[in-house]
Structure 1
Amino acid sequence: MTRSLLALAFVVPLIAAAPAFAQESDMRPKIHVTGEGEVRVAPDTALVTLSVLKEAATAREAMDENNAAMAAVIAALKEEGIEAKDLQTSGLSINPQYVYPDGKNGEDKPRITGYQVTNTLSVRVRDIEKVGAVLDRAVSLGVNQGGNIVFTNDDPASVLGEARKKAVEDAMAKARELAEAAGAEVGKVLRITESGGTPPPMPMMKAARMEAMVASAPVPVEAGENAYRVNVNVTFELLQN
């Protein structure tokens, strides 16, 4: 009885390890290829960064001036149809301003001369045609920094699905071409993995002071297209003729 149990104890691990061993020893000829798929689509959403910078003798004065200007900007954006859920404060800073000794100004140590307050607002504009008007009105009401714009798509799932299909088709075409050149045929898919799927950002304006835009007409904005790219790595069985 004891010998039978010992024999069974050795057999069970061997049976459990059999599938893993068979997988590791799979010596079938294979071919590995990378397929690329790209779909271009017009963006339907713009992410805009707007900042109000105010300077005053005290932090309280600078904050009060900034609050009044930013409140006017937010109210105007809502009048333009921007919903509250698409407005988000993304930064607030209070910085003292100094004058430093330079040997000529009579200062013997750094001295605070005032305060600078910056409030930054991230805005999601879901109507691309409104981006220029939003920028123009915001600048007129006190926005004097920002202007960085990134065009994106609110729901790119269907576009990415199309890009995946193109990537797989590209991988299959490459595999057939390589196999034909080698005098073989492509068999079944053994493994497939995906990478990519994120469009490159498309900033239209870099952060900068925007006073020069105040007197201009609504800002001309071109959204262009977003490119969604997907790569797939596919392993095929290679059948010898």
Structure 2
Amino acid sequence: MKHFLAYPLAGLAVTGLACTSLPAMAQAMTTVSPNAIQPETTLTISAEAEVTASPDVAYLTGGVVSEASTAQEALRQNSVDMAGVYKALEGAGLAKKNIQTSDFSLQPVYNYPENEPAVLTGYRVSNQVMVKVEDLDNVGSIIDTMVELGGNTFNGVSFDIQDSSELQNEARRKAMQEAVARAELYAEASGYQVARIVTISETGGYRPQPVGRMVMAEASMAKSAPTQISGGELTVSAGVSVVFELTQ
């Protein structure tokens, strides 16, 4: 009997404790300041900035495409003409590390008569190199010499800035300054003040590499009208997204 009576008493004690704690909890909830649960007023600003600069390096891609009735002959002709291309690059003072084969292929060439099976007519060999040129004034003359000594294909010229880290940082600073200025403008217009920065995230940046203007002169006019290359300017950009806390 003693054991059976002990359980109801314990249950009553717990129930009584729970009941007495409810008024205290209710009182504590009613004394919480509304400002403590009011979310902060924030403003999110995304800003971008750009910095322009002249390129200091050019990359040109070109080489030789040869066709012959047999694969061996096409390869032989291509090798002879490519030797001239490499001679031109060596004569321009380019280091071997700045010359890289970008494409090499040997493919059959077919003729497709109407309503007839394809006919093998020969073979085509393509050997292309990508060349890094740090003296931009010599890009045009290098192309001319490559053509003169055997090159017959060019796939364009692109430009770059070898070390753009400081330009990128300058763009970041300008983007951040723009974000802060716009935040202060919005805050003033709405009767607030900028209290602090909550978060900052970089939204990316880019450095395009425009293709240079390349004017190929006729072979008979190469000496009097050399190839003209214009590097122009490159744009380095940066973007930021900033969350500001506003206060009155």
Does the Cα contact within 8 Å between 1:135 and 1:147 map onto a contact in 2?
Answer: no
Of 98, 109, 112, which residue of structure 2 is paired with 1:97?
Answer: 109
* 1:123 partner amino acid: V
* More displaced stretch, 119-128 vs 92-101: 92-101
Does the Cα contact within 8 Å between 1:185 and 1:239 map onto a contact in 2?
Answer: yes
Correspondence for 2:230: 222
Deviations 1:62-94 (A, max 9, x none): 111111211221222122121111111011111
Deviations 1:19-54 (A, max 9, x none): xxxxxx882111100121111000001111103101
Whether 1:51 aligns to 2:59 is no
Mapped partners of 2:62, 2:129: distance in 1: 5
Mapped partners of 1:234, 1:32: distance in 2: 6
Of 193, 202, 206, which residue of structure 2 is paired with 1:198?
Answer: 206
* 2:122 partner amino acid: G
Deviations 1:155-182 (A, max 9, x none): 1111101111001001101111111111
Q: How far off is 1:126 after superposition?
A: 0.9
Mapped partners of 1:144, 1:211: distance in 2: 12
Whether 1:41 aligns to 2:49 is no
Mapped partners of 1:128, 1:94: distance in 2: 33
Correspondence for 2:32: none
SS of the equivalent of 2:162 reads coil
Q: How far off is 1:197 after superposition?
A: 2.4
Correspondence for 1:73: 85
Does the Cα contact within 8 Å between 1:53 and 1:117 map onto a contact in 2?
Answer: yes
Mapped partners of 1:43, 1:128: distance in 2: 9
Q: How far off is 1:218 after superposition?
A: 2.1
* 2:54 partner amino acid: A
Mapped partners of 2:42, 2:220: distance in 1: 64
Mapped partners of 2:226, 2:59: distance in 1: 17
Mapped partners of 1:213, 1:96: distance in 2: 29
Q: Which stretches of structure 1, 4 residues or longer, exceed 4 Å deviation after superposition?
A: none
Of 179, 183, 192, which residue of structure 2 is paired with 1:184?
Answer: 192
SS of the equivalent of 1:221 reads strand
The normalised TM-score by structure 2 is: 0.79
Structure 2 unaligned spans of 5+ = 1-36
* 1:72 partner amino acid: G
Does the Cα contact within 8 Å between 1:49 and 1:146 map onto a contact in 2?
Answer: yes
Where do residues 130-145 of structure 1 align in structure 2 (5 Å cutoff)?
130-145=138-153
* More displaced stretch, 68-77 vs 48-57: 68-77
| Distance change (3 Å), C-alpha of 1:37 and 1:213 | farther
SS of the equivalent of 2:55 reads coil
The percentage of aligned residue pairs carrying the same residue is 36
The alignment's C-alpha RMSD in Å is 2.1
Mapped partners of 2:90, 2:178: distance in 1: 46
Correspondence for 1:60: 72
| Distance change (3 Å), C-alpha of 1:32 and 1:114 | same
Correspondence for 2:244: 236
* More displaced stretch, 116-125 vs 73-82: 73-82
Deviations 1:93-150 (A, max 9, x none): 11211223336xxxx5322111111111111111111111111111112221124111
* More displaced stretch, 123-132 vs 215-224: 215-224
Does the Cα contact within 8 Å between 2:100 and 2:129 map onto a contact in 1?
Answer: yes
Q: How far off is 1:211 after superposition?
A: 8.1
Give 1 or 2 for the bigger CA radius of gyration. Answer: 2
Correspondence for 2:95: 83
| Distance change (3 Å), C-alpha of 1:205 and 1:112 | farther
